[in-house]
């Protein structure tokens, strides 16, 4: 027996990259879909996990290489770079200024909006392990799962994106 | 056209007009009409798509200068 899920009512998404622009696009689609009444599940894996990091260090004890990764990767939405025209961090500053002028929501606001609309956010535990990120370092209210959970949810959806 | 509530989404960029519309429609009773004002150029087709997918009825739409106006009846 399979459970009855209306495929038109579900969207799944893999957020693989940790760039500001790609994260923005992911959350705009996620909040838009949720506003259209869809059930939305976002899976964050590899660099995408950086989108979910808290601003401050959680001071978790970890091996040297993992500590290096922790230091070198962007810590949360405010620190993300652009996939194009990053220009050593100048690009995102300019982009944020332009977004503000055009009244476009910031990534922080979009994430908050997604949570408010009950978008389910899942962190991939395998990539957390590889990159040495712990639950304490990620924002609250996340689910933690692996590939089978993602595939099972994708199977119930009629739209599935990889960003 | 008569409406039960007005949503002023002027100045808001995608996806906020549809997100705010959803939230307002959630507050309404079935059959009530929400009037939406938006300036986001994409909203002209976005509100049509939103109503179609979410199952609510787009009663009318018009453009008044830079402002797009929509009337949506909750299903």
List the 38-97 stretch of A: residues with Cβ below 8 A of B.
none
ipTM score here?
0.84
Gap between the Cα atoms of A9 and A13, Å rounded: 14
Tokens coding A126: 């395998």
Distance from CA of B64 to the nearest CA of A (A): 20
Q: In chain A, whose CA is at the least distance from the CA of B22?
A: A35
In a domain, A114, yes or no: yes
Fold held by B5-73: Translation Initiation Factor IF3 (3.30.110)
pLDDT digits (tens, 9 = 90+) for B1-38: 899 999 999 999 999 999 999 999 999 999 999 999 99
Both tokens of B52, joined, read: 């179609």
Give the domain range for residue A37.
Answer: 7-162
Distance from CA of B7 to the nearest CA of A (A): 15
- Chunked into runs of 10 residues, chain A (163 residues) has average pLDDT values of 66 97 98 95 97 90 91 94 94 94 95 96 95 94 94 94 97
Counting Cα atoms < 13 Å in the Cβ hemisphere of A69 gives: 20
Q: What is the pLDDT of residue A2?
A: 46
Written as six digits, the tokens of A89 are 């961090």
Hey, is the C-beta of B43 within 8 angstroms of any chain A C-beta? no
User: What pTM value is reported for the model?
Assistant: 0.90
Which among B14, B21, B55 is the nearest to A28, CB-wise? B14
Q: pLDDT tens digits for B47-58?
A: 999 999 899 999
Q: Is A149 helix (H, G, I), strand (E, B) or coil?
A: helix
Beta partners for residue A44, in sequence order: A15, A123
Contact A35 B11 (CB under 8 A): no
How many structural domains is chain A composed of? 1
Tell me the domain boundaries of chain B.
Answer: 5-73
Verify whether residue B12 is a known catalytic residue. no
Joined tokens for residue A9: 């009512």
Using N-to-C axis directions, what is the helix angle for A20-35 and A107-116, rounded to 10°? 30
Residue A2, burial from CB neighbour count under 10 angstroms (0-12, 13-18, 19+): exposed
| A104, part of any domain | yes
Give chain B positions within 8 Å (CB) of A103. Answer: 11-13
Active-site residue among B14, B19, B49, B60? B14
Q: Is residue A18 part of a domain?
A: yes
Smallest Cα distance from A12 to chain B, Å = 17
Chain B CB within 8 Å of residue A102 CB: yes
**Cis peptide bond upstream of B15, omega within 30:** yes
* CB nearest to B18's CB, from A32, A102, A104: A32
A88-94, long-range: CB within 8 Å, 24+ apart, which pairs?
A: A92/A20
Angle at A36 between CA B33 and CA B29, to 5 degrees: 30
* Chain B residue numbers touching A31 (CB-CB < 8 A): 15, 19
CATH number of the domain at A126, please: 3.40.1260.10
**Does residue A2 form part of some domain?**
no
Residue of A120, A109, A104 whose CA lies nearest to A152: A120
pLDDT at residue A6 in the model? 74
């Amino acid at each position: 027996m399979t459970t009855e899920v209306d495929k038109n009512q579900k969207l799944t998404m893999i957020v693989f990259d940790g760039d500001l622009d790609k994260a923005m696009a992911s959350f705009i689609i996620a909040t838009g879909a949720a506003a259209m009444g869809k059930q939305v599940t976002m899976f964050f894996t590899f660099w995408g996990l950086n989108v979910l990091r808290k601003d401050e260090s959680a001071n978790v004890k970890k091996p040297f290489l993992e500590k290096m990764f922790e230091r070198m990767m962007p810590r949360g939405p405010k620190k993300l770079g652009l996939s194009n025209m990053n220009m050593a961090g100048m690009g995102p500053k300019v982009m944020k200024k332009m977004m503000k002028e055009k009244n476009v929501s910031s990534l922080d606001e979009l994430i908050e909006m997604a949570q408010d609309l009950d978008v389910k956010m899942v962190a991939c535990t395998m990539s957390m392990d590889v990159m040495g990120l712990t639950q304490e370092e990620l924002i609250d209210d996340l689910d933690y799962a692996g590939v089978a959970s993602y595939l099972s949810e994708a199977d119930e959806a009629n739209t599935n994106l990889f960003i | 056209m008569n409406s039960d509530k007005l949503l002023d989404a002027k100045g808001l960029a995608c996806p906020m007009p549809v997100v705010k519309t959803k939230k307002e429609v959630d507050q309404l009773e079935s059959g009530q009409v929400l009037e939406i004002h938006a300036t986001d150029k994409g909203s002209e087709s976005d509100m049509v798509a939103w109503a179609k997918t979410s199952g609510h009825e787009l009663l009318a739409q018009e453009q008044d200068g830079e402002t797009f106006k929509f009337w949506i009846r909750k299903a």
